[in-house]
Amino acid sequence: MQSEAEIIIGKIGKARGLDGTLKIIPLTDFEGRFDNLTEISVGGKIFTVEKVRHIGGEIFIKFKNIDSRELAKTLTNKFLTVTRAEAAPLEEGEFYTFDIIGCEVFNGSKTLGKVQNVLKTGSNDVYQVVGETEILIPALKSVITKIDIVNKKIFVDSAKLEEI
């Protein structure tokens, strides 16, 4: 089980070749996140990274002491995690998806529900909020007036919400 202090950045896919190299399925928005890794937690155990390669738009990692296809297969489907301190830095006004999920959403003083999911639409994220009903709220500055991650609260502009 993932702890609060861990952030999932990828999942291990199939073994590639005979030397223990593994395909990585990135679960992060930060390109190049894997390039400078020296150590990473895989399924709760720390592994030393020997080499990271990009081949045909895919990422492959070779861990120290994982020197055969058979050993590599034992890691398939496990998650790669980093501590929150090792997370990629964010710009002002940016938030991690896992911080948004679980936030209570308010329209003025009225509680609309909690964010259950963040949908990636390409142009902007959309917060799936479940309360008395389920509503979708676009993550736009014109709609979201304040995000308070510490207190797990999001405030929306009721007028803008009605326009949507």
Domains of the chain with bracketed CATH: 6-86 (2.40.30.60), 97-163 (2.30.30.240)
**pLDDT digits over 140-163, tens only?**
989 999 999 999 999 998 776 665
Give the C-alpha separation, 79 to 61, whole Å: 13
Place of tokens 């020296």: 38
HSE-up (13 A, CA, CB side) for residue 100: 23
Q: Supply the pLDDT for residue 1.
A: 41
**pLDDT digits over 86-135, tens only?**
877 788 888 888 889 999 999 988 999 999 999 888 788 999 999 999 99
Pairing of strands 104-107, 153-156: parallel
Residue 95's Cβ-count burial label (10 Å; 0-12, 13-18, 19+) is middle
Of 2 and 32, the structure prediction assigns the larger pLDDT to 32
Q: Is the pLDDT of residue 2 over 50?
A: no
pTM of the model: 0.66
Q: Supply the pLDDT for residue 65.
A: 96
Report the residue count for the chain. Answer: 164
